[in-house]
């Protein structure tokens, strides 16, 4: 196998967390006296971090001002901390895929735009934190995906050359992150892509699940 490390996106790639996010958004909007959003809307809003999710929830005809957004984010953080991971589900093949990837001996990492306050507790709650030698959240580095900094930070913690890393994600942001960092990228066809399904031509491979990704990587 030509890869020497593997980094994984979290929401939409490993875990379906929309139920928890939607509940936190519902409670936030309810507390603020605003109209609710549907779960389908929340699914489209996910992908660029907590602040963007909250801003999209608040935006109807015009976006919120900075003070309104900051206040709403504080409310969201409180509600999400209470529901984070309660209804999160593994996508098909993730449990088996992570175990198989770990069995290769390659160092593994999570690279997500989710804030660190929620990333670690989520991974612990669903029982997969032990697979990862590095966890890079949306506030670990000064920039978030698709900036290459989070992925580069993960590879540095893994002691791996980014050029020999494989990144696995579910959206164009993961593709852009990997391209910006200079590593290969496989994409899964499920997950959260802001209404823009990933195209096989834009990534190195479109794989059904993590086990297929491992088989393909072994042939690379």
For residues 206 and 145, what is the distance between their CA atoms, to the nearest angstrom? 20
Told to judge if 9 belongs to the known catalytic residues of this protein, a careful annotator would answer yes
Q: Decide: residue 6, CB within 10 A, 0-12 exposed, 13-18 middle, 19+ buried.
A: buried
Other CB atoms within 10 Å distance of the CB of residue 182: 14
Residue with tokens 């990492």: 109
Residues 6+ apart with CB under 8 A from 77: 50, 115, 117
Backbone dihedral angles phi then psi of residue 160, each to the nearest 5 degrees: -120, 150
Structure tokens at 157: 């913690």
Catalytic residue among 9, 11, 20, 204: 9
Backbone dihedral angles phi then psi of residue 26, each to the nearest 5 degrees: -60, -45
For residues 206 and 167, what is the distance between their CA atoms, to the nearest angstrom? 12
Mind telling me the catalytic residues? 9
């Amino acid at each position: 196998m030509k890869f020497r490390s593997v980094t994984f996106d979290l929401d939409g790639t490993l875990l379906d967390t929309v139920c928890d996010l939607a509940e936190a958004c519902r409670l936030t909007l309810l507390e603020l006296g605003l109209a609710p959003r549907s779960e389908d809307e929340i699914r489209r809003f996910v992908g660029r971090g907590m602040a963007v999710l909250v801003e999209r929830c608040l935006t109807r005809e015009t976006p919120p001002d900075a003070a309104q957004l900051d206040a709403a984010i504080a409310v969201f953080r409180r509600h999400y901390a209470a529901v984070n991971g309660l209804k999160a589900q593994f996508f098909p093949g993730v449990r088996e895929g992570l175990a198989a990837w770990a069995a290769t001996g390659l160092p593994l990492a999570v690279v997500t735009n989710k804030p660190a306050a929620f990333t670690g507790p989520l991974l612990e709650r669903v029982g997969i934190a032990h697979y990862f030698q590095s966890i890079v959240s949306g506030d670990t580095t000064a920039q978030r995906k698709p900036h290459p900094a989070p992925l580069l930070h993960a590879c540095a913690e893994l002691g791996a050359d980014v050029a020999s890393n494989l990144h696995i994600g579910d959206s164009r942001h993961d593709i852009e992150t990997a391209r910006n960092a200079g590593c290969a990228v496989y994409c899964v066809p499920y997950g959260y892509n802001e209404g823009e399904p990933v195209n096989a031509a834009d990534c190195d491979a479109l794989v059904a699940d993590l086990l297929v990704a491992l088989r393909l990587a072994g042939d690379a």
